Amino acid sequence: MSDELDEIQGIFFEECTEGLAVAEAGLSAMAEGDASSETIAGVFRAVHSIKGGSGAFGHAALLAFSHRFENVLDEVRGGRIPASAEVTKTLLGAFDILSDHVAAAQGGTEPPADAAMLAQLDAVLESKGAVAAAPAPAPEPVAEADEFGFTPVAAVVEDFDPFGFEPVAVALEDFAPVEPAEPAGWTVRFGPSRGALGNGGEPMLVIRELEDMGAVVTSVDIDSLPGLRDLDPEDSYFVWTLRVPGTVGEQDIRDCFDFVAPDSLIEIDREEVLVAIVPEVPVTPAAPVAEDDDGFGVFEPLPVPEELLTLVPLEPAPVVAAPAAVPAAAAEKPKAEARPASVEVAQTIRVDLSKLDQLLNLVGELVIRGSILSDRLSPADQERVELPELSRLTRQIQDNVMSLRAQPIKQAFSRVPRMLRDLSAETGKKVILETIGEMTEVDKGVIEKIGDPLTHMIRNAVDHGIESAEERLAAGKPAEGTIHLSAEQKGARIIVRVRDDGRGINRERVRAKAIERGIISADAAISDEEIDGLICAPGFSTAETISNISGRGVGMDVVRSNVEALGGRLEINSIPGEGTTFTMALPLTLAILDGMIVRLGDQRFVLPLANVIETVQPEPGQVKETSPTSEVIELRGQYLSVRRVGELFGMRSQRAPEDSLVIIVESETAGHVGLMVDTIDNRREVVIKSLEDNLHPIRGLGGATILGDGSIALILDIDALVATGGSSKYALKGMAA
């Protein structure tokens, strides 16, 4: 019992979380000047439902606070208190306390100190709307009750009544007109005698004859059918029940049985006495049985469920009357709103995320088993239709499971506006947020994990990037800074950008700091991009004073490792005086990749197919050395740089370019680049197994996968690979001792 309660509590807290998100979005919109009644009502409803649930679960402190909060919201909703900036600010403050209350209730900890906030709320109530203090909202929400998950139990039950009966009504209506239109039908039971088959008395002929008169086989009684061991194929075990239209005369029916052995079972009755319950008028199910009856029918799985075989006295009145009455009653009641509400209930279900994860893992295993199977089959068998069909189905299951986990990235973006407001308040910098592509769908796992990096990038942009208003005006920029937050899908990646129009990275200072911290040597010759990358080095912080927003020097390092742990990449682009762009390129899914399997020596690697443009078999002389360590390939008059993948992995290969293949790939960082490999094995979907589960992320690798033969192939991260050029500058960083 208490388990059940815990479970329901769990749902309550999930709903609280959702409610808080709704309230936050609404309040944020209000802070931006959207004081429409829907927005305010949305916030009110969210808080109200938290209040309702907290009362039910005995979270007194949460109940008390949400009640007071709701009172103010109700006044605002009713227009008695204007949704001014001041009021909205107080509401936002109250929202924070409410979040703390929810967290405290959930964690079973001490509720937060809310006295000051309550005083503020009371002040708003008193100053703006004199009459507001009474707990007015109670009657109103009842009208809206169907929008709240947990309040209106009674309403839900009512809603279901008509739906429970409706299908029955429809089903019977189909029959209803038939019954009174003709005289009551006949029910005929026919069981050929033992030995009838042996005498050549084919029961099928009789049944056909009856069917010609409009009879329908409604059931077959197989009760006397013995076990297989005792079965005599020439014996007869079946008893058919047929329904013959009432228009057929009794004598006509009897005539059909003229040639049937007299010891057969023949019963002919008017339906007033007995009627078969025929839910589906199943002509078809019964027919094959009859046809097969010459000895083989017994092996046929009988499609007619046993329950239907019994004859039941008909009680037509209540059944027929009820459906007619209920929809009518339902229609009379003002239930127009209830219908869509309950339809909505039926359309979504809550699923524990771990169950989806498990499903995804299983599908992953299925894909692997599929490839193992395919590897073991002969080429001729691989071509057969079953295998491609199986792969296609597996692929569809995979896609479906993935789509179950896809969520709009909005969930991660939604907390940004509020954060920016806090940051503005703390730093005194005015910042405008522009968001693009927040409906882009991403795997739920990705959304959960980009929250922290995103937070930090935004903080970083406000704290370090955007200048003070005076500085901006002096530089000829608008006093308000702008942060662009965008998400877009590009191939198999999701690109999330945080762009500010601030001062850009001060490379001189970054460099000086890096030397001071011993991250680079004083005479290191590094490019601007590499300097920008240094802000992600562990233990790096340039903030002159340590602010409480950023500047602890853990931030960007963690941002990068989080992004890389997701199999993504972090890029930094900075133009002095114009701003900085942080770009996170994240995999669309964390689980499956369309890959090209290439071979180098005796090792196999996977190239993400999304990066591959073309494959070239170089002619002698087509690959030229530009320096002892670098090569280019001439392709249709263009020179593209070529990297030997083996060398990037420290495997020295003496293979001549002519004996190798060059795969032209597209990279975010270095444009088109050729990668030299020995051969290409095939193209295959692979399940990404993360290296960091048991080790740690390795730069240049997007993970590993298990091939059909059980061996492991490493998945190359093209962008990181060509960007680092194989140097292991950062590769060893942070390796635990």
Partner 1 sequence: MSTEDTELDERKIVTFTLGSRLFGIDMRSLIEIREWEEPTPLPSVPPYVKGVTNLRGSVVPVVGLSERLGWAPSELHSRSCILVVTINGRHAGFLVDEVQDIVVIQAGEIQPAPDVEINEQGAIAGLVKIERRTHDAANAEAMCLLLDLDALSLTRQVPDFA
Identity of the residue, 289 or 401, whose beta carbon is nearer to partner 1 in the bound complex: 401
- What the block records as the tokens of 367 is 């894909």
Q: Hey, what are 40's tokens?
A: 């305010």
- Minimum CB distance to partner 1 smaller for 543 or for 706: 706
Q: Interface with partner 1 by CB under 8 A: which range of 270-278, 343-351, 528-536, 700-708?
A: 700-708
The reply to whether 554 sits near partner 1 by the rule CB under 8 A is yes
Report d(CA 454, CA 448) in Å as an integer.
11
Q: Is 217 left (phi over 0), alpha (psi -120 to 50) or beta?
A: beta
Site for partner 1 in 477-536 (CB under 8 A): none
Q: What sign does the dihedral 97-101-107-112 (CA atoms) show?
A: positive
Residue 435 CA to residue 500 CA, distance in Å, equals 12
Return phi, psi of residue 67, to 5°: -65, -45
**Residue 713 binds partner 1, judged by CB under 8 A:** yes
- The reply on whether position 563 binds partner 1 by CB under 8 A is no
Q: Interface with partner 1 includes 735 (CB under 8 A)?
A: yes
Site for partner 1 in 646-665 (CB under 8 A): 648-650
Element (H, E) at 72: helix 60-77
> Is 203 in contact with 190 (CB distance < 8 Å)?
yes
Residues 647 and 608: their CA atoms lie apart, in Å, by 19
Residue 558 binding partner 1, by CB under 8 A: yes
Shortest distance, position 391 Cβ to partner 1, whole Å? 19
In this structure, are strands 661-667 and 630-635 parallel, antiparallel, or unpaired? unpaired
The smaller minimum CB distance to partner 1, of residues 204 and 712, is found at 712
Site for partner 1 in 7-26 (CB under 8 A): none
Angle, to 10 degrees, between the axis of helix 444-460 and the axis of helix 416-427?
Answer: 20
Q: Is 170 in the site for partner 1 (CB under 8 A)?
A: no
Q: Minimum Å distance from CB 731 to partner 1?
A: 3
435 is a contact residue toward partner 1 (CB under 8 A): no
Q: What's the closest the beta carbon of residue 546 comes to partner 1, in angstroms?
A: 12
Interaction between residue 718 and partner 1 (CB under 8 A): no
Our separate counts of H helices and E strands in the chain read 25, 24
Q: Which two tokens stand for residue 347?
A: 């359309």
Site track 391-430 with partner 1 (rule: CB under 8 A), x = hit: ----------------------------------------
Which residues does residue 248 pair with via DSSP β-bridges, in sequence order? Answer: none
Could you give the 3-state DSSP secondary structure of residue 572?
strand
Q: Is 372 in the site for partner 1 (CB under 8 A)?
A: no
Select 239 or 675, whichever has its Cβ closest to partner 1: 675
Among 368, 537, 566, 633, binds partner 1 (CB under 8 A): 368
Segment interacting with partner 1, rule: CB under 8 A, options 22-30, 84-92, 154-162, 702-710:
702-710
User: Shortest Cβ distance from residue 425 to partner 1 (Å)?
Assistant: 21
Q: Identify which of residues 607 and 714 has a Cβ nearer to partner 1 in the complex.
A: 714
Nearest residue (CB) to partner 1, 638 versus 694 = 694
What is the x/- site pattern for partner 1, positions 665-694, by CB under 8 A?
Answer: ------------------------xxxxxx
Rounded Cα distance between 178 and 313, Å, is: 18
User: Would you say the C-alpha torsion 85, 90, 93, 99 has a positive or negative sign?
Assistant: negative
Gap between the Cα atoms of 569 and 722, Å rounded: 12
Shortest reach from residue 463's CB to partner 1, in Å: 15
CA distances from 231 to 222, 227, 235, 237, 302 (A): 13, 6, 8, 9, 17
Residue closer to partner 1 (CB basis): 80 or 689: 689
Per-residue contact string for residues 613-652; x = within reach of partner 1 by CB under 8 A: -----------------------------------xxx--
Rounded Cα distance between 431 and 607, Å, is 41
CB of 721 to partner 1, least distance (A): 9
Is residue 696 near partner 1 by the rule CB under 8 A?
A: yes
Give the whole-angstrom CA distance, residue 501 versus residue 588.
28
In angstroms, how far is the first alpha carbon of the chain from the final one?
A: 49
Name which of 633, 728, 727 is nearest 673 in CA terms. Answer: 633
How many of the chain's residues bind partner 1 (CB under 8 A)? Answer: 44
In 296-392, DSSP assigns E strands to: 311-312
656 close to 689: Cβ distance less than 8 angstroms: no
Contact (Cβ atoms closer than 8 angstroms) between residue 593 and residue 606 = yes
Choose, by CB under 8 A, the member of 244, 714, 718, 723 that binds partner 1.
714
Residue 574 interacts with partner 1 (CB under 8 A)?
Answer: no
CB under 8 A: which stretch of 212-220, 239-247, 399-407, 448-456 binds partner 1? 448-456
Which residues here bind partner 1, judged by CB under 8 A? 365, 368, 452, 455-456, 552, 554-555, 557-558, 561-562, 565, 603, 648-650, 689-696, 698-701, 703-704, 706, 710-714, 728, 731-732, 734-737
